Amino acid sequence: MHKNLKKLKKKSYTAPGSLIHIGDEITHPVKISYIEYSNDYYKFEDSLDNIYDCFNENDTVKWINVDGLNNISMIKEIGNYFNIHPLVQEDILNTTIRPKIDDHHDYIFVVTKMLYINELGKLTVEQVSFILTSNYVVSFQEFSGDVFDPLRERIKSASNIRKFKTDYLLYSLIDGIVDSYFNILENIGDRIDSIEDELLLNPENKLLQDIYTIKREMLFLRNSIWPLREVVNNLTRMESTLINEKTIVFFRDIYDHNIQIIDTVETYRDILAGMLDTYLSSISNKTNDVMKILTIYSTIFIPLSFLAGVYGMNFNNMPELNWKYGYPSFWIISLILIIVMLRYFKRKDWI
């Protein structure tokens, strides 16, 4: 977060519409993939060197996917071809903005957040931007790898998706992102169940760290899902020639899924708050148990210390000082006191 703040500060001295990449440093080259299809036509290019190879005037659905945002000149070329406003190009490169939607009549600009579990088992957040036109959907991703492989297979296998236009392709892309949230929640739910079981048996410091890690992940989810609800809701109400009325029903389905995810996120947040209270209560109970044992033993030794103190006073005229049974009598009285006190504590259910 500190690194992003420094980049924001650097951007604050630039003019509006200046194309500056804001986000994690990207060192790998930009990758362009291209899919073109219609009901009876399909073309796929996994890696293109020239963005102009994607541009044509055919009446087909075309999906251009750009992996990597470090080639600013390419963003300008795409922006010039589709007549994209400089402020929109600026938002594409700014990976810290919240999900949103803008209608520019000739095209619709959508920003979403894609979440997935990386190879290290950590939650990764990546911004994905979309440009929707009458024949094109252009997606901009920060890194290689996404959740769209099932969609690519559906297009390749000549499914019903090839009967629809670009608005349905945009729906399918957003739907893939929303469906990935369910996978994230399932993973988090399994981890919560595991922590909950350990929490009741043996609360350790590691569990506290795990709880806070999941709480941060839930914060990422919440910040990604809540704004997306507004985006999808606007798509269902948008009066645009780019959105077919038949496709609005599908966007409403995404909205319902989004509400379901939000409810699950809020439920998990409440569970995590309760787990944190349970952990603190368990640690407090363990501390109280330790203090109780220490207090009991201290209480037992109070009268013994008194006897030892009296018996150890070296006065010449002290009674029974030279009595030969004085020492064993001291230990007998001490043991009797210990037994009596332990039985009393046991009867009170203190030990």
- The dihedrals phi and psi of 162, each to the nearest 5 degrees, come to -75, -5
CATH code for the domain of 122: 3.30.460.20
Judge if 274 and 293 occupy the same domain: no
- Residue 16 has a pLDDT of 67
Q: In 167-203, which positions are buried (b, 16+ CB within 10 angstroms) versus exposed (e)?
A: bbbbbbbbbbbbebbeebbeebeebbeebbeebeeeb
- Residue 84 has a pLDDT of 93
User: Bridge partners of 31?
Assistant: 67
Average pLDDT for consecutive 10-residue bins of the chain (351 residues)? 45 63 72 91 88 87 91 90 92 90 93 84 86 94 87 88 92 93 89 83 79 86 88 89 91 93 90 83 77 81 78 64 72 84 77 67
Judge if 265 and 293 occupy the same domain: no
Judge if 229 and 328 occupy the same domain: no
Judge if 32 and 134 occupy the same domain: yes
Rounded to a whole number of angstroms, the distance between the first and last alpha carbons of the chain is 50
Judge if 163 and 226 occupy the same domain: yes
Judge if 259 and 182 occupy the same domain: yes
Q: Are 220 and 104 in contact (CB under 8 A)?
A: no
Parallel/antiparallel/unpaired status of strands 61-67 and 136-141 = parallel
Judge if 107 and 148 occupy the same domain: yes
- Residue 62 has a pLDDT of 94
Q: Using DSSP, state whether 143 is helix, strand or coil.
A: coil
Judge if 341 and 314 occupy the same domain: yes
Judge if 146 and 35 occupy the same domain: yes
Q: What is the pLDDT of residues 240-275, one digit of tens each?
A: 889 998 999 999 999 999 999 999 999 998 888 888
| Cα separation, 69 vs 182, whole angstroms | 27
- Domain total for the chain? 2
Output the six-digit token pair for 309. Answer: 């103190």
Judge if 165 and 303 occupy the same domain: no
Determine the structural domain holding residue 161 and report its residue range. Answer: 2-281
Judge if 95 and 239 occupy the same domain: yes
Residue type, 125: V
**Residue that finishes a domain, picked among 238, 263, 281:** 281
∠ CA 286-292-295, nearest 5°, is 145
- Residue 4 has a pLDDT of 43
Q: Kindly tell me the burial class for residue 112, based on how many C-beta atoms sit within 10 Å of its own C-beta (0-12, 13-18, 19 or more).
A: buried
**Residue that finishes a domain, picked among 228, 259, 281:** 281
**Residue that finishes a domain, picked among 281, 310, 332:** 281
Parallel/antiparallel/unpaired status of strands 31-38 and 41-48 = antiparallel
| Cα separation, 106 vs 108, whole angstroms | 7
| Cα separation, 1 vs 295, whole angstroms | 48
CATH code for the domain of 341: 1.20.58.340
| Cα separation, 90 vs 77, whole angstroms | 13
C-alpha dihedral, 152 to 157 to 163 to 165, nearest 10°? 10
Judge if 239 and 309 occupy the same domain: no
- Residue 9 has a pLDDT of 47
